[in-house]
Amino acid sequence: FYIRGCPKHTFLMHADDDLKSMFVGTVMRKIKSRTWKKHRYFRLQEDCMTIWYKSKKAANAHSTSVREGHQSEVLLSIADEFPPDRCFTLVFRGRRGNLDLVAESAGEAQSWIKGIRKLIDNLENMGQREKLDQWICDWFKKADKNRDGQMNFKEVRDLLKMMNVDMNEHHALRLFTMADKSQSGTLEDDEFVLFYKMLTQREDVLRVFQEYSGNGQKLTLQDLKDFLREEQLHEDGIQQYALKLIERYEPSDTARMLQAMTFDGFLMYLTSPEGSIFNPSMVELYQDMTQPLCHYFISSSHNTYLLEDQIRGHSSVEGYIRALKRGCRCVEVDCWDGPNGEPIVYHGHTFTSKIFFKDVVTVLGNYAFKVLVLSDGNTTVLASQYPVILSIENHCSVEQQKLMAQHLTQILGDKLLKSPLDGKILISLPSPEDLKGKILLKGKKIGGLEDGMNGVVDDPLMGEKSKQHLSKELSDCVVYCKSVHFSGFKHSQIHSKFYEISSFTESKARKHIREAGAEFVLHNVRQLSRVYPSGLRTDSSNFNPQDMWNAGCQIVALNFQTAGVEMDQNDGLFSQNGHCGYILKPAFMRKIDERFDPENPQNDGYKPLSLSIQVISGQQLPKVNMKEGSIIDPLVRVEIHGVPLDQAKQETRYIDNNGFNPVWYDTLQFTIHVPELALVRFVVEDYDKTSKNDFVGQFTLPFTCIQPGYRHIHLLSKDGTSITPSSLFVNVRITNVN
């Protein structure tokens, strides 16, 4: 491993024409609006990860994707001025705004687009070891102030502070001297790597390794099998699995030939996806997708067009793109009469900005089931292929409704579901599998499905149509999601149709759960329910979605633009099953003859579990206060989100001044009464005795996706993006409660 210049990236740069031209740099227009268009000089830095312009950091390639042409609102607004082949957009993960650029020529634009995609691809395909090497390389560059490729002791001391390490000077000097093999008074290349390895020596993992190693130097195949069986609770095919781990993670050729694992290989395994707390087999699509639509929780967004608050916030098609890319499968539009007969979308009677309905539909058509065709002919699926529900809050006149129907039909084409599948009326909703690649409209409808199938058509000026102030054309676009007023559980049990859906404010939903929880669950076995935030949440805050999932509500609409525990829960629930936006509800929530009350869940199959989590250590936790010399005092809180009986939280003690490698060995115990509905959230905070603790990182996952044993938890930032290599090391035990 070489620090200076990070050779892998240097090789990339010299071997690729696109990267070479990016490294030289280009003058492009940065576009903020129709009137703000300024020339800026852009250049790829030597790390092949950072793009700089006018001495300001603009973007990290590993945290972006790139769109070609007029694929942002800003670039669409200047489409008459610059052709699409010169335009592209850098899109950032999380909640950061886009960077819209116009190159001087189509060739130049292509060079940057292809170059950035190669860099993103390279970063996303890095192994754990490469990521760590890259991380070490980055730290070296930050600390090497005079850029001479060497680090003196003062630079090392400054580096330790940057890395969240509070180490006394004597110990730091001892490590420095041990690493300085050349006795030059500076560290370079391999000497810095050695210093880093001494600094990050994992005594916690070494203790586990030596417990199972016969000679303390390696794990034989039998040693590894014993560890996997006794600690990681693997059962089937353990010999093949142990051999696979050695082949995949053991860096020593000699050890691999001996079918053994060294400490380095053991550590690589424990920090890999297979050593993660999240069961890798459940990250992929693994659930039955052929059940009726109402048998799934569906990732859902509220007022999707808003990027900020509900009163003065900016409306943008970008909200739809971000939500869809995040796995959302139900988006919302509020439609109002617009100028020149063209319907608009905004939060009515507020100061939020306005966008055209047709632009929202265009984005939906482009991004609902997005598949990227790569230059080598292969394809990458960027979004789930399961159905998207477009929930329409309709305030338009009949005339503009006709235009809405026209836009939906013309822009979406075959993607829009306009009639029952196979021309048949079923007795229950079709499945996500049946509806793959389809967009379903949720809105008011004249009459029912049966009327249209039997050839019954209302006179447009008479009866139900005139009362509802609804155009037939828009009504005909609604098939399986007819919006109806909720008149009580008894009424819906007798009169409701399977294709009808009712919406509830969060407070109404809570009232029904409190007063008739079991009836609400049964209602949701038969048909869809949507729950949305209170109108009082003008700051776009969110309610607790878990309460609604506990009652089987499928469409729990959240403000995706607002980070916090509620979106962590949503991301956690939908992080399984291939991020497809659909999660099969537990069996007891899908049966008409079962009675499950979330407020009192001890039913016939009641089997509580005991969850024991020993929080062992943390690794390279990020700084939250950038003041010089400031180092965090981390604590870990584990929260259980589930039925009321399961709601619980416990935390470790805090560790003074160590965000780099804090050690706790604190054990937290929980009883889980309904494991099928429980989420487990790990939160790291910087303890402050005088004010509110600062957030450091978190990770949320379904209880059913937990792998027991010694596991790493790879932490995420507030907006759900990775903060490599920050992690926690834990030992998890799940047992039956006697």
| Full set of structural domains in the chain with CATH | 7-125 (2.30.29.30), 129-200 (1.10.238.10), 203-275 (1.10.238.10), 293-449+483-589 (3.20.20.190), 609-736 (2.60.40.150)
Torsion of CA 141, 109, 93, 702, to 10 degrees: -110
Instruction: Check whether 707 is labelled as a binding-site residue.
Output: no
Instruction: Check whether 315 is labelled as a binding-site residue.
Output: no
What is the DSSP track for 513-572?
Answer: HHHHHHHHHHHHHHSEEEEE--TT-TT-----HHHHHTTT-SEEEE-TTS-SHHHHHHHH
CB 709 within 8 A of CB 731: yes
Instruction: Check whether 40 is labelled as a binding-site residue.
Output: yes
The whole-angstrom separation of Cα 430 and Cα 447 is: 20
Determine the distance from the C-alpha atom of residue 337 to the mean position of all C-alpha atoms in its chain, rounded to a whole number: 35
Cα dist. 369→283, 412, 545, 710 in Å? 19, 12, 25, 38
Instruction: Check whether 442 is labelled as a binding-site residue.
Output: yes
Instruction: Check whether 73 is labelled as a binding-site residue.
Output: no
CB 561 within 8 A of CB 542: no
10 Å Cβ neighbour count for 511?
12
Residue ranges of the chain with pLDDT lower than 70?
Answer: 1-15, 47, 54-64, 94-95, 126-129, 131-133, 166, 371-382, 452-464, 466-468, 604, 626-629
pLDDT at 282: 96
The whole-angstrom separation of Cα 394 and Cα 375 is: 42
Instruction: Check whether 482 is labelled as a binding-site residue.
Output: no
Torsion of CA 499, 502, 506, 511, to 10 degrees: -110
- Any idea which residues carry the catalytic annotation? 302, 347
Q: Which residues pair with 454 in a beta bridge?
A: none
CB 89 within 8 A of CB 58: no
User: Which token pair is 667?
Assistant: 């054990």
Looking at 271-312, list the stretches that DSSP marks H as alpha helix, in order from N- to C-terminal side: 280-283
User: Which residues lie below 8 Å from residue 153, measured CB to CB, with a gap of 6+?
Assistant: 172, 173, 176, 185
Instruction: Check whether 686 is labelled as a binding-site residue.
Output: yes
pTM (predicted TM-score): 0.87
Instruction: Check whether 299 is labelled as a binding-site residue.
Output: no
Instruction: Check whether 450 is labelled as a binding-site residue.
Output: no
The whole-angstrom separation of Cα 162 and Cα 472 is: 64
pLDDT at 467: 57
pLDDT at 457: 52
Instruction: Check whether 514 is labelled as a binding-site residue.
Output: no
User: Which residues lie below 8 Å from residue 535, measured CB to CB, with a gap of 6+?
Assistant: 310, 505
pLDDT at 12: 56
The whole-angstrom separation of Cα 96 and Cα 724 is: 19
Instruction: Check whether 57 is labelled as a binding-site residue.
Output: yes
